[in-house]
Amino acid sequence: MAADPEKFIQYNKNMVQEIFRKKEEYHLAQARLPIEEKVKILIELQKMSLTIRPKQNETDKRLVWQIECK
Amino acid sequence: MEKTIQVIEKAQNAGLFSSYAIGGGIAALFYIEPVVTFDLDIFIILPESSSPLISLSPIYSWFSARGYKPSQEQIVIEGIAVQFIPVYNDLVKDGVLDAAEKKYGNTPTRVLKPEYLIALMLQTYRSKDKERLSMFLQETTIDYPLLDSILLKYNLKTVFETFKEQYYGR
């Protein structure tokens, strides 16, 4: 038996809505983390940023924070 | 970052500046999800001076004497690149004077409130400001009466309305 196209479209719509809802939840959860946890994430982001776009010259002063995270 | 804040507090106690508040990307970090940034921006109110020229030399000398060497416009303090930015307009000055008292670990510090950060983003209005603005509107609690009064005072209401229309429609 062929699948009902209406049901298929509705299923996809629901799935997309669910993905967006989960994404929103994730971003809110990230925003609500304690600042100390956010700084740990920030340092990882700094490392990734310098890997993706390495320093090109001496004037580029980007420095991964050299701090102890508890 | 706690050690860095403690050193900045010492600098304030030494009278290098009368007040300070964390601004920029790190202030945003207190309110929204982490976004990459490298500098810790510290907005400062310098002590009253008879000279019309603003000089950061006393600040650089004080830190140098304690082993924190300035490099171009920044000073690496306990592993973090810090930029000291004298308040450059009334909005920033108001933001510093009305900063939120926060804690990092056990150390108290001062951070610009989200309402002032939003106003500053509307004032500078670069593409990264617009991106961050939308995160602020979605991810943090905003005191709308305070935001409204700031936007009114600094003539930023129209920019805010335009931004909201562009991002969220009418």
ipTM: 0.90
Domains contained in chain B, CATH given: 2-112 (3.30.460.40), 117-168 (no CATH)
**Cα dist from B160 to A49, B27, B140, B147, whole Å:** 31, 20, 17, 10
pLDDT reported for residue B147: 97
pLDDT value of position A8: 84
Residue A49 binned pLDDT confidence (cut-offs 50, 70, 90) = very high
Sorting pLDDT into bands at 50, 70 and 90, what band is A48?
very high
Q: Do B81 and A61 touch (CB under 8 A)?
A: yes
What's the confidence (pLDDT) of residue A28? 93
Phi, psi of B112 (to 5 degrees): -60, 140
Question: What is the pLDDT averaged over residues A19-35?
Answer: 92
The pLDDT of A40-67, averaged and rounded, is 90
The answer, yes or no, to whether residue A16 has pLDDT greater than 70, is yes
Chain mean pLDDT for chain B: 93
Contacts of A66 in chain B (CB under 8 A): 79-80
pLDDT of the residue at B59: 92
Q: How far apart, in Å, are the Cα atoms of B39 and each of A2, A28, A68?
A: 59, 24, 17
Is A1 a residue whose pLDDT tops 60?
no
B74 in contact with chain A, both atoms CB, cutoff 8 A: yes
Mean pLDDT of A56-63: 84
* Cα distance between residue B76 and residue B79, in whole Å: 6
Below-70 pLDDT ranges, chain B: 50, 170
Which chain B residues are closer than 8 Å to A65 by Cβ? 1, 38, 79-80
Q: In whole angstroms, give the CA distance from residue B21 to residue B113.
A: 9
Residue B3 contacts residue B51 (beta carbons within 8 Å): no
**Interface contacts (A, B; CB < 8 Å):** 62
